[in-house]
Amino acid sequence: MKNVIICGAPGSGKGTQSDLIIKKYNLKHFSTGDLLRKEIADGTELGKSANTYISAGQLVPDDVIIGMIANKLDSLDKTTVKGIILDGFPRTLAQAEALEKMLEERGEQTDVLIDLDVKEEELINRLLLRGQTSGRSDDNLETIQKRLNVYYNQTRPVSEYYKAKGKYAAIHGMGTIEEIFGRISEVLD
Ligand code: AP5
Ligand code: MG
């Protein structure tokens, strides 16, 4: 399988680019943010607990997230799926280490981490614009600042982890959606 991590700050375009990648490369999209928002919409206990973290711009505890990904990996039909794209996961070093262990146990590994690099001013503009219609409880200036701090402090080390393994590709994440997708395609091809 082709197993890809798409990483980057809030608003860097992980979800937007994942939608294009899954179509071109026939990968399964695992977005922990989308999975958590579905739990919230369904009113589950997990969703209620996750909502307090998300609204505060904080990370949901590692064990909850790792369990969710393990379930998704177990539900994969390897005869039809060509690989996975992990969007918004791993976000901490502990999650990265757990992911590599889970993949190894299933005879798989991460091929590359794609790191979308976008200027902070652009990130904030994109998220505030989306906040006008998204209904996301974390798309307001105060929470966006907190999400950015969490990203710089807790998620940046994940990039270093994959850099050390020689599985890292930085992508210039400014420009049109198509331009950025072209840059990602060059790496994946
Ligand atoms: P998550 O849902 O992953 O949110 P995020 O990382 O904050 O990022 P976004 O989804 O907001 O942005 P994106 O990079 O996907 O960009 P998008 O394509 O949407 O996580 C939310 C929360 O859930 C976390 O804060 C945490 O609480 C929890 N969580 C999730 N995963 C977790 C984990 N692993 N561990 C612990 N907690 C976890 O684009 C953004 C906007 O920009 C869109 O409106 C889009 O249309 C626009 N746009 C995209 N590309 C361009 C472009 N090239 N030019 C102009 N506009 C563009
Ligand atoms: Mg997203």
Q: Are 36 and 69 in contact (CB under 8 A)?
A: no
Identify each DSSP E strand in 35-149 by its residue range.
Answer: 83-87, 112-117
Angle separating helix axes 93-105 and 62-74, nearest 10 degrees: 20
Q: What is the pLDDT of residue 29?
A: 97
β partners of residue 92: none
Residue ranges of E strands in 24-107: 28-31, 83-87
Tens-digit pLDDT profile for residues 116-170: 999 999 999 999 999 999 999 999 999 999 999 999 999 999 999 999 999 999 9
> Which residue is catalytic, options 24, 130, 156, 165?
130
156 is known as an active-site residue: no
Q: What percent of the chain has pLDDT over 70?
A: 100
29-53, pLDDT tens digit by residue?
A: 999 999 999 999 999 999 999 999 9
Number of the ligand 1 atom closest to the C-alpha atom of 53: 27
| Residue of 38, 55, 58, 59 with the most ligand 1 atoms within 8 Å of its CB, for mutation | 59
Q: How does residue 78 score in pLDDT terms, banded at 50, 70 and 90?
A: confident
Choosing from 28, 37, 126, 147, which is the catalytic residue?
147
